[in-house]
Amino acid sequence: MNFGSLALGLGFLLILIGFWGLLTQKNLIKIVIGFSVVDTGVHIIMVGIGYLQGRTAPILDAALMQRTAAAGNQAGASADVGSLIVDPVPQALVLTAIVIGLGITALLLAYVVRLHEQRQSLDISSYEDLKW
Amino acid sequence: MIKKIFAFLLLIALAGVFLVVLQNYETPEELNLTAAYYAEHGAEEVGAANLVSAIVVTYRGLDTLGEVTILFLTASILSFFLKQREERGKRSVRASSELLRTASAVLVPFIFLLGAYVFINGHLSPGGGFQGGAIIASGLVLLLLTDPLRKVSSRLLARVESASGFIYVGLGIAGIFLAGGFLDSRVLPAGTFGTLLSAGLLPILYILIGLKVGTELSGLLTRFQEVQVPDGGDSPDLKKGENV
Amino acid sequence: MVDQLFFNPIYIIGIGLAAAFFLGFFHRGTLAPRIIMVAVTAAFTIISLAWMQAFLLQGQTAEHGQAAAQVFTAGFQPPFSINLRMGAEEAFLTLLINISGLLGGIYLLDTLKKMGSHAVSVFIILIMGMNGIIMTRDIFNLFVFMEIVSIAVAGLIVLQKETNSLAAGFKYMIAAGIISVFLLLGIILAYAVGGSLNIDFLTAADLPGAKAGMIALFFLVIALLLELKPFPANGWALDVYDAAPAGVSAILAAAGSAAAYYALVKILPLGSSSHYTLVAAAGAVTFLGSNLLGLKQHRGRRLLGYSSVGQVGLLLIILGFSEVLGAQRDYIAAGIILSHSLAKAILFWLAGMLKQDGLEAWAALRKKPILLILFGSAVFALVGFPPFPSFFAKWELILLLNGGRFYLWSAVILGASFLEAVYLFRWFGYALKMDNEKLAEPEAPLFRLLPPIVFGILLYGAGWYMGSILEGFANFSYIPLAFILFLALIDRLPAWIKNTVSIAGVTFYIIDLYPRLEGDLLRLIFAGIFLIGAVLTLLSGYYYKGRRAGFYPLALTMFAGLAVLIEAANLLEFFYGWELMTIGSYFLLIRGKKSMPHGYSYMLFSVGGSFAMLFGFSLAAAGAGSIAMSALTGVTVLPMLAYSLMLVGFLTKTASVGLHIWLPGAHGEAVADIHFMASAILLKAGVFGLITVLLGMGAEASYTGPILFVLGWIGALSALLGNISASFQESAKRLLAWSSIGQLGYIVFGLATMSHLGWLIAISYSVTHFLYKGILFLVIGGIALKLGTPYMYKMGGLIKRMPFSFLAVLIAIITLSGVPPLVGFAAKWITYNLIISEGIYYQGFIVLISGIVAFLYLFRMIYTMFLGQLKDNLRTVREINIWFLIPVYLLLAAIMVLSFFPNMLLRPVGEMLSGYFPDGAIAWTGTLGTTRLGYYDGGAIMYVIGGIFVAALLFFFSLRKRTQQVKQFNIFYSGEAPSRPELSHFSYNFFAHYQKAIGVLTLPLVTNFWNWLSGILHGTADFFRRIYTGNGQTYAYHLVLYIVVVFFLQRGGM
Amino acid sequence: MSSFGSVPVKILYALLSIFIVMNIGLLLQGVTRKIYARVSKRIGIRFYQPYIDLVKNYFLRDLVSHGVMFYLGPIFRLTSGVGMILFIPLIYGSPVFSNFSFSGDAVLVLYFMFFGTLGMALGSGESGQPYSAIGVARGLAQVTAAEIPLILSFLAVFIQYQTLSISTIVGAQQGGFMHWTMITNPLATATALLAFLGSMMRSPFDVVLAPQEIPIGPPTEYHGAFLGILQTNRAIFPIAKTILYVNLFFGGAGNWFEFIIKAFLLYMWSVVVGTVFPRYRVDHSIRWFLKVPLALGLLSIIFLQIG
C239-253 pLDDT, tens digit per residue, is 999 999 999 999 999
Give the residue-averaged pLDDT of C126-154.
94
Side chain identity at residue C473, one-letter code: F
Give the residue-averaged pLDDT of C893-900.
93
Residues of chain B with pLDDT > 90, as a percent, come to: 12
For residue C133, with 0-12 CB atoms within 10 Å meaning exposed, 13-18 middle and 19 or more buried, which class applies? buried
Kindly state whether residue B58 falls inside one of the protein's structural domains: yes
Q: What angle do CA C4, C9, C12 make, to 5 degrees?
A: 130
D299: nearest CA partner in chain C: C842
Does D22 reach chain C within 8 Å, measured CB to CB?
no
Residues of chain C with pLDDT > 90, as a percent, come to: 66
Dihedral sign, CA of C227, C230, C232, C238?
Answer: positive
pLDDT at C58: 64
pLDDT at D214: 55
**Domain extent listing, chain D:** 7-306
Least confident of B157-161, C179-183, C192-196, C444-448: B157-161
Give the residue-averaged pLDDT of A74-103.
80
Do residue C17 and residue B170 have CB atoms under 8 angstroms apart? no
Q: Is the pLDDT of residue C912 over 80?
A: yes
Interface of A with C (CB under 8 A): 15, 19, 22-23, 26, 28, 31, 35, 38-39, 42, 45-46, 49, 89-90, 93, 96-97, 100, 103-104, 107-108, 111-112, 114-115, 118-119, 124-125, 127-132
pLDDT at C132: 95
Q: Is the pLDDT of residue C1045 over 70?
A: yes
Nearest-neighbour CA in chain D from C623: distance (Å): 39
Kindly state whether residue B22 falls inside one of the protein's structural domains: no
Query: What average pLDDT is seen over chain C?
Result: 91
Q: Is the pLDDT of residue B240 over 60?
A: no
Q: Are the C-beta atoms of B210 and B167 separated by less than 8 Å?
A: no
Q: Is the pLDDT of residue C62 over 50?
A: no
Answer yes or no: is the ipTM higher than 0.95: no
Q: Is the pLDDT of residue C567 over 80?
A: yes
- CB < 8 Å to B77, chain C: 118, 122, 151-152, 154-155, 158
Kindly state whether residue B121 falls inside one of the protein's structural domains: yes
Nearest-neighbour CA in chain C from B32: distance (Å): 5
Kindly state whether residue B2 falls inside one of the protein's structural domains: no
Q: Is the pLDDT of residue B103 over 90?
A: no
pLDDT class for C129, splitting at 50, 70, 90?
A: very high
B14: nearest CA partner in chain C: C1044
Does B173 reach chain C within 8 Å, measured CB to CB?
yes
Range of the domain at B158: 51-81+97-226
Query: Which of A19, A95, A110 is closest, CB to CB, to B56?
Result: A95
pLDDT class for B234, splitting at 50, 70, 90?
A: very low
Residues of chain C with pLDDT > 70, as a percent, come to: 98
For residue C924, with 0-12 CB atoms within 10 Å meaning exposed, 13-18 middle and 19 or more buried, which class applies? middle
Q: Is the pLDDT of residue C802 over 70?
A: yes
Q: Is the pLDDT of residue D201 over 60?
A: yes
Least confident of B88-97, C245-254, C307-316: B88-97
Residues of chain A with pLDDT > 90, as a percent, come to: 44
Q: Which residue of D63, D108, D158, D281 to mutate against C (max C Cβ within 10 Å)?
A: D108
pLDDT class for C24, splitting at 50, 70, 90?
A: confident
- Residue B70's CB: how many other CB atoms inside 10 A? 29
Kindly state whether residue B1 falls inside one of the protein's structural domains: no
Q: Are the C-beta atoms of D102 and D67 separated by less than 8 Å?
A: no
Burial D269-280 (b: 16+ CB within 10 A, else e): bbbebbeeeebb
Q: Is the pLDDT of residue C670 over 50?
A: yes
Give the residue-averaged pLDDT of B74-101.
74
Give the residue-averaged pLDDT of C479-484.
92
Burial B170-200 (b: 16+ CB within 10 A, else e): bbbbbbbeebbbbbbbbbbebeeebeeebbb
Nearest-neighbour CA in chain A from B187: distance (Å): 22
Q: Is the pLDDT of residue C400 over 90?
A: yes
pLDDT at B99: 87
pLDDT class for C61, splitting at 50, 70, 90?
A: very low
pLDDT at C613: 95
pLDDT class for C483, splitting at 50, 70, 90?
A: very high
- CB < 8 Å to B29, chain C: none
**Domain extent listing, chain A:** 1-54+88-132
Burial B8-46 (b: 16+ CB within 10 A, else e): eebbebbbebbebbeebbebbeebbebbbbbbeebbebb
Q: Is the pLDDT of residue B88 over 60?
A: no
Q: Is the pLDDT of residue C106 over 90?
A: yes
Helix, strand, coil distribution of chain B in percent, nearest 5: 70, 0, 30
Does D128 reach chain C within 8 Å, measured CB to CB?
yes
User: CA B226 to CA B224: how far, in whole Å?
Assistant: 5
Least confident of B148-162, C351-365, C372-386: B148-162
Its pTM stands at: 0.93
Q: Is the pLDDT of residue B237 over 50?
A: no
User: CA C285 to CA C310: how far, in whole Å?
Assistant: 9
pLDDT class for C333, splitting at 50, 70, 90?
A: very high
Do residue A111 and residue C1036 have CB atoms under 8 angstroms apart? no
Instruction: Give Cα separations from D276 to B76, D31, D39, D213 (angstroms).
Output: 103, 17, 9, 21
Nearest-neighbour CA in chain B from C999: distance (Å): 56
Q: Is the pLDDT of residue C291 over 90?
A: yes
- CB < 8 Å to A82, chain B: 30-31, 35-36, 39-40
Does B74 reach chain C within 8 Å, measured CB to CB?
yes
Question: Which CATH code of 1.10.10.10, 1.10.420.10, 3.40.640.10, 1.10.287.3510 fits the domain covering A1-54+88-132?
Answer: 1.10.287.3510
Helices (H), C839-980: 841-866, 882-900, 902-914, 938-958
pLDDT class for C141, splitting at 50, 70, 90?
A: very high
- Residue C962's CB: how many other CB atoms inside 10 A? 8
Q: Are the C-beta atoms of A100 and C180 separated by less than 8 Å?
A: yes
Query: Which residues, 6 or more positions from C868, have their beta carbon under 8 angstroms from its beta carbon?
Result: C796, C797, C984, C985, C986, C987, D125, D126, D128, D130, D133
Nearest-neighbour CA in chain B from A107: distance (Å): 6
User: CA C632 to CA C625: how far, in whole Å?
Assistant: 11
User: CA B66 to CA A92: how far, in whole Å?
Assistant: 13
Query: Which of A31, A115, A128 is closest, CB to CB, to C166?
Result: A115
What pLDDT digit, counting tens, does each position of C945-994 carry?
999 999 999 998 888 778 888 888 888 777 777 778 888 888 888 898 88
pLDDT at D215: 60
Does D15 reach chain C within 8 Å, measured CB to CB?
no
Q: Is the pLDDT of residue B239 over 50?
A: no
Does C742 reach chain D within 8 Å, measured CB to CB?
no
Give the residue-averaged pLDDT of C693-718.
92
pLDDT at B85: 53
Nearest-neighbour CA in chain C from B143: distance (Å): 25
B72: nearest CA partner in chain C: C21
pLDDT at A36: 95
Q: Is the pLDDT of residue B1 over 60?
A: yes
Least confident of C313-327, C401-415, C659-673, C694-708: C659-673
Does C807 reach chain D within 8 Å, measured CB to CB?
no
Nearest-neighbour CA in chain D from C691: distance (Å): 28
Q: Is the pLDDT of residue C59 over 60?
A: no
Do residue C141 and residue B173 have CB atoms under 8 angstroms apart? no
User: CA C179 to CA C219: how far, in whole Å?
Assistant: 10
C169: nearest CA partner in chain A: A111
The structural domain count of chain B equals 1
Does C929 reach chain D within 8 Å, measured CB to CB?
no
Nearest-neighbour CA in chain D from C938: distance (Å): 7
Kindly state whether residue B130 falls inside one of the protein's structural domains: yes
pLDDT class for C337, splitting at 50, 70, 90?
A: very high
What pLDDT digit, counting tens, does each position of C747-790 carry?
999 999 999 999 999 999 999 999 999 999 999 989 998 898 99
Give the residue-averaged pLDDT of C527-556.
90
